[in-house]
Structure 1
Amino acid sequence: MKSFNIYLVLAAFATIAFTQSCVEGEDLVTPNVASPVLVLLEGSSFDSLSLVTVGSRFLELDKTNILDHTKGIDSIPVPNLNITVFINNTTEVAKLVTDAGGSAELVVSWADLGLAEATGGNQIRLEFAGTHKNTAFRKYHTVIVEKVD
């Protein structure tokens, strides 16, 4: 019975120490910030001879009526938003600006994405980055070369 009590006391101290180390003034290693926009991307699989065309739409979510089930959250297009598209985190591929409906279309070749010879199964990770209301955001999207039979 004594050994059980010792383990119980040790477990209680470990729990308290762990809780204190997580709570008291500790910052996250990577701070999480909610994206200021909702990013919708469309188009992910293309044959090796066609252009890579990714449609994008950027919306701001108005949560004013979130508690009113008859209205809910409203999606408002974000016009004139500057978007930069990257590959490999740093290589800029294109600059886009959204239209009045919050849409922008990326149209590039596989060569522009660094694939001199696009073969089936190759993948490229695109990053759509921008800033809205002084908050930076980044959305990742993978495009794939379709395999030809």
Structure 2
Amino acid sequence: MKKLSYIILVLATVTTFVACEKQDPFVDRVVAPVLVTVKGDTGSPSSGLTTDPTISSSFGETAKLSFMVLELDKTNILDYTKGIDSIPVASVSLLVKFRGGAEIGTFTTGADGLASVEVPWSTLGISESGSTVSLSASGTYKDVAFTKLFKLASN
């Protein structure tokens, strides 16, 4: 009986360790090197509470939006008096395109980490107020590619 208990214990231990090493087969994840927030023409950033935020721009001749690109310095993450610092990232090129793949344009961040975009509504395929288009902004920072998904609504 003692030998049987030992065998069961060994099998349970081996099974536990083998089960813990299995990787997620569905999504390959790479941590983004930067934080990208999208702002509408009002200047208020997307909430960041969703993976696919919707921003708005006033309907007229051109849609106006901007991107803020920040590097998060986590050096003092354990010091509650300092925390994480957000550093603007300059000279990052962002390729804005439709989710289907058609490119709209490339925009570069300035010294303040901000890239301003003005695109005619007709280029986005929007001809009236109240419409929404799904877009993405992609770039590379420190040899790591990143993409920000968002929706632009005309109001």
Question: TM-score scaled to structure 1, two decimals?
Answer: 0.76
- 2:142 equivalent in structure 1: 133
Pairing 1:145–2:133 present:
no
- 2:25 equivalent in structure 1: 28
* Contact 2:57–2:65 under 8 Å retained in 1: no
- 1:79 equivalent in structure 2: 90
User: Which of 110, 118, 123 is the matching residue for 1:112?
Assistant: 123
- 1:9 equivalent in structure 2: none
Q: Cα RMSD between the aligned structures?
A: 2.1
Q: CA deviation at 1:26?
A: 3.7
- 2:70 equivalent in structure 1: 59
**Structure 1 residues 123-145: Cα deviation after superposition (integer angstroms, max 9, x where no partner):** 10120110111111111121112
The unaligned stretches of length 5 or more in structure 1 are 1-12
**Structure 1 residues 23-57: Cα deviation after superposition (integer angstroms, max 9, x where no partner):** 44445322111111011111122343241111111
- 2:130 equivalent in structure 1: 121
User: Which of 37, 53, 59 is the matching residue for 1:40?
Assistant: 37
**Structure 1 residues 88-128: Cα deviation after superposition (integer angstroms, max 9, x where no partner):** 2411101011101111011101111123xx22321101201
Counting matched residue pairs gives: 127
- 1:100 equivalent in structure 2: 111
Give the Cα–Cα distance (whole angstroms) in 2 for the partners of residues 102 and 114 of structure 1.
28
Which deviates further from its counterpart, 104-113 or 24-33? Answer: 24-33
Give the Cα–Cα distance (whole angstroms) in 1 for the partners of residues 23 and 38 of structure 2.
35
The unaligned stretches of length 5 or more in structure 2 are 1-11, 41-54
Give the Cα–Cα distance (whole angstroms) in 2 for the partners of residues 140 and 109 of structure 1.
20
* Contact 2:140–2:146 under 8 Å retained in 1: yes
* Contact 1:89–1:127 under 8 Å retained in 2: no
Q: CA deviation at 1:81?
A: 0.5
Give the Cα–Cα distance (whole angstroms) in 1 for the partners of residues 86 and 58 of structure 2.
33
**Structure 1 residues 41-96: Cα deviation after superposition (integer angstroms, max 9, x where no partner):** 11122343241111111000000000111111111111000110011241110101
Give the Cα–Cα distance (whole angstroms) in 2 for the partners of residues 26 and 59 of structure 1.
30
Give the Cα–Cα distance (whole angstroms) in 2 for the partners of residues 47 and 114 of structure 1.
15
